[in-house]
Amino acid sequence: MNEKNILTIAAAQEQVDQWIKTIGVRYFNELTNLGILMEEVGELSRIMVRKYGEQSFKKSDEGHDLADEMADVLWVLICLANQTGVDLTKALEKNMAKKTQRDKDRHQQNDKLQ
């Protein structure tokens, strides 16, 4: 992290890459990581539907933390980005520009959101 304790997306991609290469030995292949991503999204979903939805917590849900589940999803997404050569900073900037252009009036005019 930099002096302000802010972790940039680029720095996160580098840190995950270094961790994989030193502690993790190597990346799992892309399809394995895709499967892991789906598992992690499922775990996040489980906590969300129990915390904000109608389902109640089960004993097996103990110890699962919403922030940690989100971080697990982000971790695997970063792994996939690193493996496939995606610069997530550039990808997010491009995606935000696309959404801004496409939706600049759409949501403002949506009566459901008012």
Per-residue pLDDT tens digits for 88-103 = 999 999 999 999 999 8
What topology does CATH give the domain 9-88?
Helix Hairpins (1.10.287)
Please determine, for residue 1, whether its predicted confidence score (pLDDT) is greater than 80.
no
Query: Quick one: pLDDT at residue 4?
Result: 75
Q: What is the pLDDT of residues 61-82, one digit of tens each?
A: 888 899 999 999 999 999 999 9
Query: Quick one: pLDDT at residue 52?
Result: 94
Yes or no: say if 72 and 65 are a contact pair by the CB < 8 Å rule: no
| pLDDT interval class at 87 (50, 70, 90) | very high
Nearest Cα neighbor of 47 from 16, 68, 76, 24 is: 68
Taking phi over 0 as left and psi of -120 to 50 as alpha, with beta for the rest, 28 belongs to beta
- Arithmetic mean of pLDDT, 16-41: 97
- Arithmetic mean of pLDDT, 27-47: 97
**How far are the Cα atoms of 61, 68, 94 from residue 31, in angstroms, in the given order?**
27, 23, 25
Positive/negative CA dihedral, 10, 14, 19, 25: positive
**What pTM, to 2 d.p., does this model score?**
0.87
Buried residues in 93-111 as b, exposed as e (16+ CB within 10 A): eeeeeeeeeeeeeeeeeee
Positive/negative CA dihedral, 83, 32, 15, 64: positive
- Arithmetic mean of pLDDT, 45-57: 93
